[in-house]
Amino acid sequence: MELDLWWLLLFPAFFGLGWFAARVDMRTVLKQAKSVPISYFRGLDALVDDKTDVAAQALAEVARQQGSALELQHILGKLYRKRGENDRAIRLHQQMLDSSDLPGEQRDLVRNELAQDFRKAGLVDRAEEILLKLLNGNMALAARRQLLDIYQQDRDWKKAIETARELRSDAHSFQHEVAQFYCELAQGELYKSDHSQARQYVAEALAANRKCVRASLILGDIEFAEGNLEAAIAAWQSIEKQNYEYLAMAAERLFDAYEKLGRPLEGIALLRGYQRTFPQLELTDLLYQKIATYDGEAKALEGVREAVHARPSLAGVYRMIEAQMDELSPEGRMDAEVARALILKHSQRLSVHRCKCCNFRSRAFFWHCPACGEWESFTANRSEN
């Protein structure tokens, strides 16, 4: 009972100590808040409103008042860079490096920021020079990521491959990117008709990523150029297992190979089979032309109707109207011409490839998205959405 009584007496003391500690902490917080310059809050408010010019001016004023605030100077440098004021960002980071007050562990961080300033200003060589010196420090990972971007921009694919392999981790293997870099090298050798070297690069690409569609496309091109038509067909047909959405990119190549072998109807049958199995493939125009040439206009129209009914599209309707123009009366032909022209206009406006990562849209297909830099992210077939 005596022990319980002592505890009851201690409870008010504990509450009193807690109240006193809270009062002390609150006074400290209020004192610190009053010591923050009003320009700091103006800068934050401007950033929230996306007024970067006002924010830069306000934060620069705070930085002048509190020159030793490294975090604030880092923010200000990034803000200058974001606004395109690269000269000011470079000057600020160089002044920080020249300062004897800058702690040693902060120097690599500032150098990394300076490299980004030089890159944004177009001085890629100077950025690379700085980044190479950071590869053995605590900013090695960030430096390698920047170097990878630089090598891709400069199309230095061998250095890009080496850097990507150094960046490999459990979180990101970079095998997808390495395969594309080898494909770039293979495509360059194919343009120079060095089939042996191109074939070697394709083998490296497939070793890095066995589902690399682009490598199979290039391999088929190599075989076709060397006259190995059956091998070319086999390479292009392997795309069905890798990613069937890219079959449309190999469709005309496949038909040309079958035509050169003297078996055009077999090529048409293969492509029609693809169209029935994968209605989203852009094969209607190609099949119409080839069927009309080898099987007649009636069969070609039948094929177009089948494709449009399976998956309606503006491009398919345009081709269907065009195929029936000759059967119409002069007045009907004029009406159909108006409808056809309108459909063509909207089809060309709406039919685009889209990047699955950033939704960038383009009528041209890219293996490397020009907006976000992702590889093999463009939809293989144009959509009308």
Nearest residue to 282 (alpha-carbon basis) of 242, 254, 315: 315
Give me the chain's average pLDDT, please.
82
Convert the pLDDT of each residue in 54-81 to its tens digit: 655 655 565 565 554 677 777 788 888 8
| C-alpha distances out from residue 167 to 141, 162, 321, Å | 7, 9, 54
Task: Tell the residue number behind the tokens 């103006």, with chain if given.
Answer: 42
Residue whose C-alpha is closest to residue 181's, from 154, 152, 210, 153: 152
Compute the half-sphere exposure of residue 242: CA atoms within 13 Å on the CB side of its CA: 20
Query: Are the beta carbons of 316 and 323 closer than 8 angstroms?
Result: no
Q: State whether residue 364 is helix, strand or coil.
A: coil
In the chain, where the domains are located: 37-165
Q: Is pLDDT at 26 greater than 70 in this prediction?
A: no
In angstroms, the CA 191 to CA 8 distance is 90
Residue 20 has pLDDT above 90, yes or no: no
Q: Is the pLDDT of residue 364 over 90?
A: no
Binding-site residues: 355, 358, 369, 372
Reported confidence tier of residue 1, pLDDT bands at 50, 70, 90: very low
E strand spans, 181-274: none
Specify the residue for token string 């399976």: 310
- pLDDT for the residue numbered 31: 46
pLDDT for 23 beyond 80: no
In the predicted model, is pLDDT for residue 49 greater than 60? no
CA distance 172 to 45: 37
The secondary structure of 147-203 as a DSSP string is HHHHHHHTT-HHHHHHHHHHT--SS---HHHHHHHHHHHHHHHHHTT-HHHHHHHHH
Q: Grade residue 87 by pLDDT with cuts at 50, 70 and 90.
A: very high
For position 24, what pLDDT does the model report? Answer: 45
pLDDT at position 247, please? 96
Q: What is the pLDDT of residues 280-339, one digit of tens each?
A: 888 888 998 899 899 888 888 888 888 777 777 777 777 777 777 777 777 777 777 777
Strands (E), the chain: 353-354, 361-362
Among 3.10.350.10, 3.30.310.80, 3.30.930.10, 1.25.40.10, name the CATH number for the domain at 37-165: 1.25.40.10
**Annotated binding-site ranges for Fe cation:** 355, 358, 369, 372
